[in-house]
Structure 1
């Protein structure tokens, strides 16, 4: 699509733009308005300390984050979805969790110029995350490890395009045995649910996905049952091809990469082949890479040319 922007590189399905997200999208709103079936991103988190990849702090972050809502809403198709991953933050020099991420969510969803609503919240748990906040976990040892991020699914319709039959989890061993035996204890449960005599006899190809994602296995003696389509690599993997390429070139990878498995789940869940996906804070462009593999059109924006170059390593 013809845009007023600098294309860093492109494929038959997508393009990576260098620039500041707000400026790129605002300057091309006439071309892009209503075009995206999915906006999925992991923006700079609402931290109370500056990071190398750039982030605002405190009220400035909340105001900035809230101001994005009308712009993203305009970009969505009528049945499109917006998925944002965001982490917790802590009060400066205090062992107290900040409310900044929650205030930012409320400001974003309640922005009267956006007409958005929160469809569902997901939790992405990663047992390999380094202990944080370090001062209160490993030094003073008075708090537990902050080991998960929030994933907020929003839309401007109560019924955005979605199909959970495309993101089924593998059946548990006990469920597979039940399907084989075609027999189980039906009737009323203590929860007052009344289980029908044949309600679990039909094989649907898997069970409905949960809104908790294990980026890595929680218990070694328990099989992880992520949806079939979720790519089985961790956000902290040191042995994937991308990480190897970065090491070969002496490059430090983007420190806050979104899990490819998480992205692939929402791409399958909320879009169809050929749909258009936007990542406005692309970093090393995991979103574009996953979209390309899953035959979706994609459009990514990254302000740092160094991180944009890392994106080319993914596609190599």
Structure 2
């Protein structure tokens, strides 16, 4: 597929482009991006519809993209990458490809590992089938590694933007510290005083992110179903990019996804008031991803029209159709109540 530098579609805050991310990254100004967050095709043994490389080729391939990302990031920018686990071919032993990527990003490219995160997906099906379901040799693989890299040792971050809800016990402690807590020195040597019971608006989140990936009726899937379009088979949940976009960027910062798929990142960035750019090499995935930015009441005919026009190379302003849908609905309501 030939890379297109004109957006396939754009919104008030961002643009989706079709093509090879290496070519598209080159069009961005150096030092202009606040956050690159992505989930690339994983180095799996079983080939997927969206394309994936053999594990021995994977690390070199990914580092080609990472070199370009490093140039485009601001000095306080971040690069967040979600990698799924994999096994070595034909044996119940784990591949280390995701760890090799992390080590080479640091040792060869000069990135800094700000923190390692682990995404636990409780809704993930048991896999791999051979070692888990059939032979019963391994536990279900339900953790993805999510590496947070900084261009420097000091990437911009604010953990107070992603505080977790307090537990019921902590709520009781804050309400009446004297009843539920006695300040003391812990066995570890930490002196936990009465200030521990202060209400900070939420708890500091851990680096284990429990997020179910079980969307079944969102706008994107509804649009795919209404138009008979096959949805992207490996979407990550909106809560994953939301966490990092909120923590690592401010309003109007630029967020880029270099393997956008169904463009969950763009949708979240738009909702969070960030500018965004998404790159995806498969035109059908890009065309269908515009459904995310339409009103829930958009007609199947409209969605099918936009999908087809994007595939034909027309650049679409999705905002125009979102506004028109709302005008049509108001007109229908006026006629109904007349």
* TM-score, normalised by the number of residues in structure 2: 0.83
| Matched residue, 1:126 | 121
Q: Secondary structure at the match of 2:37?
A: strand
Which of 86, 97, 102 lines up with 1:100 in the alignment? 97
| Matched residue, 1:5 | 5
The reply on whether 1:203 has 2:199 as its aligned counterpart is: yes
The reply on whether 1:41 has 2:38 as its aligned counterpart is: yes
Aligned residues: 290
Q: 1:127 to 1:4 in 2, by over 3 A?
A: closer
Asked if the contact 1:6/1:19 (under 8 Å) is kept, the reply is no
- TM-superposed CA distance for 1:4, in Å, is 7.1
The reply on whether 1:140 has 2:135 as its aligned counterpart is: yes
| Matched residue, 1:24 | 24
Which of 109, 112, 118 lines up with 2:106 in the alignment? 109
| Matched residue, 1:286 | 264
**1:192-226: CA deviation from partner (whole Å, max 9, x where unpaired):** 22212x2223211111111111113xxxxxxxxxx
Unpaired stretches in structure 1, ≥5 consecutive residues = 217-234
Runs (4 or more) in structure 1 with deviation over 6 Å come to: none
**1:29-66: CA deviation from partner (whole Å, max 9, x where unpaired):** xx421111000000111212321101111221111112
**1:55-103: CA deviation from partner (whole Å, max 9, x where unpaired):** 1112211111122222111010110111000011111121111112211
**1:2-32: CA deviation from partner (whole Å, max 9, x where unpaired):** x971310011211001001112223x1xx42
| Matched residue, 2:303 | none
- TM-superposed CA distance for 1:105, in Å, is 1.8
| Matched residue, 1:277 | 255
Q: Secondary structure at the match of 1:103?
A: helix
| Matched residue, 1:232 | none
The reply on whether 1:67 has 2:64 as its aligned counterpart is: yes
* TM-score, normalised by the number of residues in structure 1: 0.88
Query: In the aligned structure 2, how far is the partner of 1:67 from the partner of 1:303?
Result: 16
**1:245-296: CA deviation from partner (whole Å, max 9, x where unpaired):** 2222222321111221011111110000000000010001000000111110
The structure with more helix, counted as a fraction of residues: 2
RMSD across aligned positions (CA) = 1.5
The reply on whether 1:300 has 2:278 as its aligned counterpart is: yes
Query: In the aligned structure 2, how far is the partner of 1:191 from the partner of 1:141?
Result: 39
| Matched residue, 1:313 | 291
Higher CA-based Rg? 2
Q: Secondary structure at the match of 2:7?
A: strand
